[in-house]
Structure 1
Amino acid sequence: MRIAVIGSGTSAIGFLYHLLKTHPEYEVDIFERGLEPARRAAEGESILYGFGGAGTFSDGKLSLSPQIGGEVADYIGYESFKKYLPECLELWTLGFDRKALERSDLSEGPRVWDIKRAFNENRMDLTLGEFIHVGTDNLATVIQRLYSLLSSHKSFHFHFSTPIKDYSHADTAVIDETGRSYGPYDQVILAVGRSGSVLLNRILELSGADFTSNTVDLGVRFEMPAILTDEITQILYEFKVSYITAQDDKVRTFCVNPRGYVVREDGSDFSLVNGHSYTHQKSDLTNFAILVTHKFTEPFKDSFEYASSIARLANKLAGSGKILVQRYKDFKALRRSTNSKMQKSFVVPSLKGATPGDLNLILPRRTAADIEEFIEQLSRVIPGANNPDNLLYGIEAKFYSTKPDFDQWFRIKGAPIRIIGDASGYSRGIVQATISGIALAETIGL
């Protein structure tokens, strides 16, 4: 069998890692618009593209719960999810002692349930799940080891700096941006992540496949003293909390980084804010995303453009390639933070070079009101969450990929095309994306 894999991120790695065990004889061409691991840098498009994908520079948080990070378990079945989970953990901790890595501790039953009760008493839902934290620094090492393993296999052929722009149904071939055609292939696997939405939507339209894509999460990265969150993060590592506002909007926390750092994440034409945490480098601050879910109805269909246009506006106000930062006190008062105000702040930004400004000039009114309501509610459980000197960075957005209508195991109806990982719409994190790839590798030859 001859296979084309477009993208070499998390789900593609899971697919190739398992295929190496089950069908090492299959010929596989892997097309990647970015670079190999040693040449990637945490800036520009290299943050999103290259071997390892967008997860390369993440904090390496592995969620072991099928309820966190997607709906892959709903699609492949919970028994299959549990079956593939050990291999997923083996892959992402390659060469490390898993027991020595940071993890959530749900064994402390009474303390865990006391925390959950405190959130529930304040109309906030805490999702409990076990996590293993690899760390941004260790993750880079794992990805280099995985690349060395996979690239050395004689049947796996990597094509870096080769963006695929089109697909030919007649020839079952893929076409790069220069017009060169590769193929034919027995199977074409799209593992392009959420950043590959343009190619994904084009192929879906050419295939006549039904799909939905009308949701985006938009908000800020929030930063506060770690000493105020330690009581929770030392047990759970992170708190995944959701809340329904007075406007009936869903607000949630995402990607909690205890004693971590706020970072800039550059895309092709806009920059977003994100957070990292390292195993061997700690700050005195904890950061996490506060995201408001936006679901659109007809006739509007482009949730990606909605959020990206807001991000571009934020970048213009902050200055080229920069992120806006604002004190919570100023955010509530609808006034701009300035350099002089920031110098008086008790909380010193971990993201150096962020531009003081006013996020109220960018965020939709309803979104800003939801974020303020959430912070005030959170302060009832975590005293000090509404401290005037706590910081908001913007913009942070989480894009939901299209969710195609599959006929079997991630396959588009009537076409030899499979879609895995975040591009499938079924995963939103490292573990579930990887398991989608492993599951496909297990069944693709059947």
Structure 2
Amino acid sequence: MQSNHHDITIIGAGVSSVFLAYTLMNQNEHLTIHMIDVGKELSERVCGLDAGRECTCVGLCSKYIGFAGLGKSEGKFNYTNDFGGELGRKIGKQHTLDLMKEVDKILCEFGGGIRPIYSTKNKDLSNKAVQSGLRALSTEVRHLGTILANEVFQKIYEFLKNRVHFHFETHVDRVSIHESGFRIQTDKGEFTTGKVVIGTGMSGSSWLKKQAASLGLHPGETRLDLGIRVEMKGDQLQSILQDTFETKLKIERDSFSATTYCMNPRGRIIRKHQHGVVMPDGQNEREKESPSANLNFSLFVPQYFPSHDEAMEYALSIIGSINQGRERIVVQRLEDFQLHRKSTSLEGNLVGPSLDGECGNVREEVPDLYGKALLEFMACLEELIGEKVHPDTLLYGMDAKFYEPKLPTDMNFETEVPDLFLIGDCSGESHSLSQAASSGIYLGRYLGQDIAKK
């Protein structure tokens, strides 16, 4: 029979928590570890969205919530400090890179090594990008793909469950300070624990806000990335992609900075459901038997808001207006966007849309900032590739990447409440699978050693 008291309880079973638990197990064989998640275990995370249909989940969507979190999706691990979070600034860039090597080693131990690692580094491209007013960001990538990612994380789960006490489909009502550390009240019973680590990711933002308030923790500013997703001729960027699978480009101006995200050669655009709105999302060619002839990416512009509520209200008002309560996504030809005219038909368009959007005027439906960023980026991109971006290029409104409000933590991710820690996206330091996993290893080593000393 499992005890109701544990040395460490991890709330949330996403990527950061998985790597934390794995590290704790290897650091200290005597630790009792408890993991609670509102979602399901990996083998039961089935949703119609996985097959390109509508969400079939009752309540929370299993595509995004449950064991392995967003690691189940495409399993794309970017090993870099150039993007994906600010972990390097918190614990040191070299330390972060070393931790990423550990992340990759663990993935390979559980079967991830069958997918080769590749690099997007290209010195010539970097020089040309600078001359064109852009910056080429680089990384090494282990891109597992959805099928392999599920296999890898299932093997990790089988390993963890030998020592970790799991509670899935369990809602944590309250975390409070207790004489033995903390009391955790859930809809499946009450538990006590010496230390609490929260790794609920962006899906648990509302829950975290409520718990933080009850514990006297006050979040600070919140980042929000919004942008237009672009779908273009598959060979249009061949000159800069011929040596790499993906190139990430950044443009910086006084009034904004913008970065390409999730570039998918021969990929498709699919609908992404988050926070009650629908957005255009990129799907890698490996996820479909019949890849498209196009290339797609989003151009994200980050903004910072005083609170999470303000960031979410801003994003949901814009995207909700586009959706019109019926999952609508607006699409417009680039030439029409440039000429301030509505696209009325895509029949005969050279770039065939991979997503069934509604023709309209993206320029009128998104704030001016994002249109300005797109136009200036396209001008620089044309200089970089030495040709005009085709006028039949398609623009979809509007994609978003959400972030957690940043709660103050020290060098070891400990909050102002002793023995309460935040990792992954909850910490505000990581925005990628690799940095989230690295934060889990970092905290696992610290807690394993700290408890051993005591």
Q: How does the TM-score come out when normalised to structure 2? A: 0.86
Q: 1:405 aligns with which of 404, 408, 411?
A: 408
1:9 aligns with 2:14: yes
Report the Cα distance in structure 1 between the residues aligned to 2:169 and 2:142, rounded to whole angstroms.
32
Q: Any unmatched runs of 5+ in structure 1?
A: 107-111
Q: In the superposition, relative to structure 1, how do residues 383 and 294 fare at CA in structure 2: closer, same or farther (>3 Å)?
A: same
Aligned-partner Cα distance in 1 for 2:335–2:404: 35
Does residue 1:28 correspond to 2:33, yes or no?
Answer: yes
Return the offset for 1:139: 1.8
Q: Supply the distance in 2 between the matched residues of 1:431 and 1:349 (Cα, whole angstroms).
A: 31
Between stretches 424-433 and 398-407, larger displacement belongs to 398-407
Cα offset, 1:426, TM superposition:
0.5
Deviation at 1:42, TM superposition (A): 5.7
Contact 1:404 1:425 in 2 (8 A): yes
2:100 alignment partner AA: L
- 1:94-148 deviation per Cα after TM superposition (whole angstroms, max 9, x unaligned): 5446375251264xxxxx2221122111211112222232223322222222223
Once residues 422 and 385 of structure 1 are traced to their aligned partners in structure 2, the CA distance between those partners, rounded to angstroms, is 38
Distance in 1, matches of 2:360 and 2:174, equals 41
Q: Pick from 204, 211, 215: which aligns with 1:203?
A: 211
Matched, 1:157 2:165: yes
Change beyond 3 A, Cα 1:378–1:57: same
| Matching residue of 1:191 | 199
Aligned with 2:441 (options 416, 438, 442): 438
The counterpart of 2:238, out of the listed 230, 239, 244, is 230
Shift of 1:48: 1.7
Relative distance call for 1:273 and 1:105 in structure 2 (3 A) is closer
For 1:293, which of 281, 286, 302 is the aligned residue?
302
Q: CA deviation at 1:435?
A: 0.6
Aligned to 2:52: none
Matched, 1:395 2:398: yes
CA contact (8 A) 1:138 1:279 kept: no
Q: C-alpha separation between the residues in 2 aligned to 1:438 and 1:382?
A: 40
Change (3 A) 1:206 1:19: same
CA distance in 2, matches of 1:169, 1:181: 17
Letter of the structure 1 residue corresponding to residue 83 of structure 2: I
Does residue 1:343 correspond to 2:347, yes or no?
yes
- Relative to structure 1, is the Cα distance of residues 226 and 407 closer, same or farther in structure 2, using a 3 angstrom cutoff? same
Residue 383 of structure 1 deviates from its aligned partner by 4.8
User: What amino acid is the match of 1:362?
Assistant: E
1:136/1:277 contact within 8 Å kept: no
Shift of 1:15: 0.7
Aligned residues: 429
Q: Indicate the larger mover: 79-88 or 407-416.
A: 79-88
The structure 2 residue matched to 1:254, chosen from 240, 249, 261, is 261
Question: 1:67 Cα deviation (Å)?
Answer: 3.1
State the superposition RMSD in angstroms.
2.5
Task: Please name the residue that 2:66 is paired with.
Answer: 50
Q: Provide the rounded CA distance (Å) in 1 between the counterparts of 2:332 and 2:183.
A: 49
Letter of the 1:175 counterpart: Q
Question: CA separation in 1, counterparts of 2:446 and 2:133?
Answer: 43
Cα distance, 1:300 vs structure 2:
9.2
Quote the offset at 1:158 in angstroms.
2.1
Checking the alignment, whether the CA contact within 8 Å between 1:243 and 1:250 is kept in structure 2 is: yes
C-alpha displacement of 1:370: 2.1
Q: In structure 2, give the amino acid aligned to 1:263.
A: I
Query: For the residues of structure 2 that align with 1:132 and 1:279, how far apart are their CA atoms?
Result: 14
Distance 1:410 1:160, change over 3 A: same
Q: Give the SS at the match of 2:400.
A: strand
Correspondence list, 1:275-294, <5 A: 275-279=282-286, 281=288, 282-294=291-303
Structure 1 CA distance for aligned equivalents of residues 40 and 329 of structure 2: 26
Matched, 1:89 2:104: yes
Using the TM superposition, name which of 265-274 and 37-46 deviates more: 37-46
User: Which aligned segments of 4 or more residues in structure 1 are displaced greater than 6 angstroms?
Assistant: none
Partners in 2 of 1:181 and 1:49 — Cα distance? 21
Partners of 1:271 and 1:208 in 2: CA distance: 34
Partner of 1:109: none
Counterparts in 2 of 1:102 and 1:349: CA distance versus 1, 3 Å: farther
**1:196 partner letter:** G
SS at match of 2:35: strand
The answer as to 2:434 corresponding to 1:418 is no
Distance 1:54 1:311 in 2: 22
Corresponding residue for 2:322?
314
Structure 1 residue 173: Cα displacement: 2.2
Q: Aligned equivalents of 1:144 and 1:54: distance in 2?
A: 14
Contact 1:92–1:139 (Cα < 8 Å) also in 2: no
Counterpart position of 1:75: 90
Q: Any idea what SS the aligned residue of 1:368 has?
A: helix
CA distance in 1, matches of 2:414, 2:107: 26
Contact residue 94 and residue 145 of structure 1 kept, 8 A? no
- Paired AA for residue 132 in structure 2: N
TM (norm. structure 1) is 0.88
User: Do the aligned partners of 1:324 and 1:393 also contact (CA within 8 Å) in 2?
Assistant: yes
**What SS does the corresponding residue of 1:310 show, helix, strand or coil?**
helix
How many angstroms does 1:236 deviate by?
3.1
Deviation for aligned residue 1:56:
1.7
> Any idea what SS the aligned residue of 1:343 has?
coil
- Partner of 1:169: helix, strand, or coil? strand
Which is further off, 223-232 or 3-12?
223-232
Q: What residue in structure 2 maps to residue 144 of structure 1?
A: 154
CA contact (8 A) 2:176 2:215 kept: no
1:348 Cα offset (Å):
1.3
Please list, as runs of the form range in 1=range in 2, the aligned pairs for 1:117-132 lying within 5 A after superposition.
117-132=127-142
Correspondence for 1:270 among 258, 277, 280: 277
CA deviation after TM superposition for structure 1 residue 343, in Å: 1.7
Task: State the Cα distance separating 1:385 from its structure 2 match.
Answer: 6.4
Q: 3-state SS of the aligned residue for 1:186?
A: strand
Cα deviation digits, residues 35-54 of structure 1 (max 9, x gap): 22222226342222111212
